[in-house]
Amino acid sequence: MIALTLLSIFLSSTVAFSPSGSTLSISGNAVSIRPVHPQLIVFTPLVTTPTAKTNVYIPRYERSISLRAAATAAEKQRQFTCKKRIATFMAFMTGWADFLVLQKYKFFPTMMTGNTMWLAKAFFEYRFRDVAFYVTVITAYLLGVGTFRRAELSWKNDALNGFFAPIVAGGLILSDFLTWKDPSARWIPALLLSFCWAIINGVGSEVTGNLVFVVTGAFTRLSNMRVDRVSRTAGRKKIQKDGIMMALSVIFGFFVGALWSVFLDQKVPQLKSCGAFGIMGVIYGTLFLWLDREEFGAWWNRKDGALCDVDEYEGICE
């Protein structure tokens, strides 16, 4: 092999100064010379790095690119695994909260579809106090979404640990305290819960890149991926493993969370009166303090530098 390398360098030098102008190529153990333009003669030294398993030589720059690509793929896989676990846990918490709030206050803190439905029913039945209740609940949710987005754009990584964690924990604990002081209290606790879950939903979508509070969206993604796989018009797209696993994680997490909420309602009914939301506040506060946006791929590190928006399958954004 050393002899072959010395021979190639010698021949390259000879060819480079020959009047006919030719180039040298080496394939395996064969050496060939082919003519090129006589005025364009270039001499390039051969720099190779031996591989461990074969006798084939790979240029160093190609090996470096391969190593970087492998490292990037491994990092993306690690991030996705972490995001999937967080999405499952946050969907579990959403399932727990939805059933509990519906039983206690008769509204949905995580989704405004049900609240809009109750608003229409109250308006039709001339229950204007309830109309005002649902209007303010929806307004509180919108304020929470605006607060989340403004804080994200302004403080980036510091928003989650330094602002969202105490706001969400404090809001949920305060709602429990108010109902402990006055069991008939409904309006202010409901506004606090709606505001806090708007922030929680924003954190979930940004950290995981998925709508962890929308089970309908997860089912929609599963159906769309299956149809696109068999549809000739859609190009028979290959089902993405990451997409289907994230959708199933959200569905599973929400279902188990709802089961947990029903179990607590049957076995420990006093938590519904006071305690459950305080526990959730502590859990969310601890989670937000633990999460590192840079570690899970923050939006300011994405190629377009934009916050997560819903894609065609109502799901993952990168």
pLDDT, mean of residues 115-121: 94
Pairing outcome for strands 49-50 and 57-58: antiparallel
Read off the pLDDT of residues 262-291 as tens digits, 9 standing for 90 and up: 999 999 999 888 899 999 999 999 999 988
pLDDT, mean of residues 293-316: 60
Read off the pLDDT of residues 172-195 as tens digits, 9 standing for 90 and up: 999 999 999 998 899 999 999 999
pLDDT, mean of residues 152-156: 86
Name 160's Cβ contacts closer than 8 Å, sequence gap at least 6. 203, 207, 288, 291, 293
| pLDDT number for residue 223 | 85
Alpha helices by DSSP H, the chain: 2-16, 60-105, 112-124, 128-155, 157-159, 165-181, 187-208, 215-230, 241-267, 270-273, 276-290
Contact predicate 148/202, CB 8 Å: yes
Name 54's Cβ contacts closer than 8 Å, sequence gap at least 6. none
284-290 contacts at long range (C-beta below 8 A, 24 or more positions apart)? 284/93, 284/165, 284/168, 284/169, 284/172, 284/200, 285/165, 285/166, 285/168, 285/169, 287/89, 288/160, 288/161, 288/164, 288/165, 288/168, 288/203, 289/161, 289/165
pLDDT at position 212 over 70: yes
pLDDT band at 148 (very low <50, low <70, confident <90, very high): very high
What single letter denotes the amino acid at residue 100?
L
pLDDT at position 299 over 90: no
Alpha helices by DSSP H, 182-307: 187-208, 215-230, 241-267, 270-273, 276-290
| pLDDT number for residue 165 | 95
Distance CA 207, CA 90 (A): 11
pTM listed for this prediction = 0.71
Read off the pLDDT of residues 48-103 as tens digits, 9 standing for 90 and up: 445 444 555 556 555 556 656 665 666 677 777 888 899 999 999 999 999 999 99
First to last CA, the chain: 47
pLDDT at position 313 over 90: no
